[in-house]
Amino acid sequence: MTVDGYIETVGKEVNVEGNIAYKFINLCKKAAKNYQIEIKKVGIPQFEDIIDTYGKIIKPFSGKILILLDEVSSLNRSFFKEEQGKISQFETLMNQLRTLPFVRVKVAIYPFDICDVLMETRYGDNVQLDSDIRNKDYEVFLNKVIVLIERYMENSMQEKKSIEELFDIQSENMDAVEQLVYACGGNMRRLVHLLDLTMDCAYKRGKGYEKIRKEDVIKAICRQAEDCENRFQISDKEWLSSIVKVCRNRGAFRFKFPNKTVSLAKYTNRSSEYNIINKIENGQGRRSSIYEFDYAYCVYKEIPTHYIKNSERLDKNRSKETGEIIKKVTTITDTLIQQSVIPGKIEGTITYVNEKRDCAYITSSDDKQYFFMQRDVIEDDKDKVLVRSKQVKFVPIESGEHLFAEEVEIL
């Protein structure tokens, strides 16, 4: 409002007859038959205005005021920052609201956002809208998905149908549905969107005569991830691509990138449906935040997410039955970003290391052997010990009959 304020006097007459049991009407009957209410509307209300309004209009009916704060993160960042040892203006506001017994407040914020500063339970309970499908909630959420699909089928066909009649799966092999569960991240709204894309992919492939296969689910997941990526500018996608290359080389989808919180924010500050990167642990002091790529984006960009159980071999099927989530967190630096764009780098395995562990041989995929010394290892990996069977990436150099490896990354 731009007006400074106005005062309106409202006259009300209450004439209620009969035995009406509703509490609100009964309370109205107890009020005076004729009374005046003075309503004052101001551009910038103060707490005393809230208290005054409550006393005149809401208190006679034992009501309460519910304040809903949405899109809190759109406010200026300074509103959430502590200054000179004093708590932020946001926390001050919430403390003032908390002291009013007739006020209840609901605040919509994203986890780990700059406005996510109210950690104490006295402000209320954190409401987890997404299921924790990586741990305890997987089976429960999977059953919800199955029930949801079967109810949609029943509603459409006017008879009970099982999920096996729509998906090419068996009760002991739910791989196609499992991929949907992982890709939606436990978010029902995203799940429905993925189901719609999956049906579309399956219909185009089978013309409506074949069941949904895992390949249809994967194609739908990639379509959604590509759509999320296309929301960014070309320069943003190029920088993102370099991070992808490092994670892919290092066999991890979780990473730290010290001093890059601001640069990464554009990929994490959207929503659970459109975030390409999610912050899973907030950094404190010198400890960097931990990020992970969205599962759908990992599928789209072939970033590894699973090991084969009880090994460090990658599970390309990303199956819960045969694999387990990679918990490894790799640390990305500007040096590794630069290494990721060096042309001609190939991968290999260390097959021999001398006793001093300062030189070794690498065997490439075409069975060629390349010699290198500790000094040929990139700066970020020099502290790593040379051991056999370790995967590496390097620039192959030919000098006459001899083969050497330079710019060696120990993955």
Select from 123, 154, 180 the last residue of a domain. 123
Q: Which of 28-37, 164-173, 219-228 has the lowest mean pLDDT?
A: 28-37
Mean pLDDT along residues 98-107: 80
- CA-nearest of 38, 74, 71 to 56 is 38
Q: In the predicted model, is pLDDT for residue 18 greater than 70? A: no
Domain co-membership, 30 together with 110: yes
130 in a structural domain:
no
Q: Identify the residue with better confidence: 117 or 178.
A: 178
Domain co-membership, 221 together with 238: no
133 in a structural domain:
no
107 in a structural domain:
yes
d(CA 235, CA 402): 40
Domain co-membership, 213 together with 160: yes
131 in a structural domain:
no
Domain co-membership, 117 together with 143: no
129 in a structural domain:
no
Domain count, the chain: 4
Give the pairing of strands 277-281 and 290-293. antiparallel
- Under a CB-based contact definition with an 8 Å cutoff, are residues 382 and 349 in contact? no
Q: Identify the residue with better confidence: 8 or 216.
A: 216
Domain co-membership, 285 together with 356: no
65, β-bridge pairs: 103
128 in a structural domain:
no
pLDDT in tens, 241-250: 999 999 998 9
Select from 308, 335, 362 the last residue of a domain. 335
Q: What is the pLDDT of residue 40?
A: 58
Give residue 376's domain range.
343-410
Domain co-membership, 81 together with 178: no
From residue 275, alpha-carbon distances to 74, 289, 307, 352 in Å are 17, 16, 24, 43
Give burial (CB, 10 Å; 0-12/13-18/19+) of 7: exposed
98 in a structural domain:
yes
- Under a CB-based contact definition with an 8 Å cutoff, are residues 256 and 289 in contact? yes
Q: What is the pLDDT of residue 290?
A: 94
Q: In the predicted model, is pLDDT for residue 170 greater than 90? A: no
Select from 212, 228, 244 the last residue of a domain. 228
Q: What is the pLDDT of residue 152?
A: 87
Output the domain CATH number for residue 364. Answer: 2.40.50.140
d(CA 355, CA 85): 55
Q: In the predicted model, is pLDDT for residue 21 greater than 50? A: no
User: What 3 state SS string does 164-210 have?
Assistant: HHCECCECCECHHHHHHHHHHCCCHHHHHHHHHHHHHHHHHHHCCCC
Domain co-membership, 113 together with 177: no
- CA-nearest of 356, 348, 357 to 409 is 348
Q: What is the pLDDT of residue 400?
A: 86
Q: Which of 68-77, 291-300, 342-351, 372-381 has the lowest mean pLDDT?
A: 68-77
Q: Which of 67-76, 113-122, 143-152 has the lowest mean pLDDT?
A: 113-122
Helix axes 214-229 and 175-184, enclosed angle (nearest 10)? 20
Domain co-membership, 245 together with 309: yes
Q: In the predicted model, is pLDDT for residue 53 greater than 80? A: no
Q: Which helix (H) or strand (E) holds 23?
A: helix 23-30
Domain co-membership, 245 together with 320: yes
**Assigned token pair, 252:** 């991890």
Q: In the predicted model, is pLDDT for residue 275 greater than 80? A: yes
Q: How many helices (H) and strands (E) does the chain have?
A: 11, 15
- CA-nearest of 167, 279, 145 to 215 is 167
Tokens 């300074």 -> residue: 78
Give the pairing of strands 290-293 and 254-256. antiparallel
User: Taking all residues of the chain, what is their mean pLDDT, rounded to a whole number?
Assistant: 82
165 in a structural domain:
yes
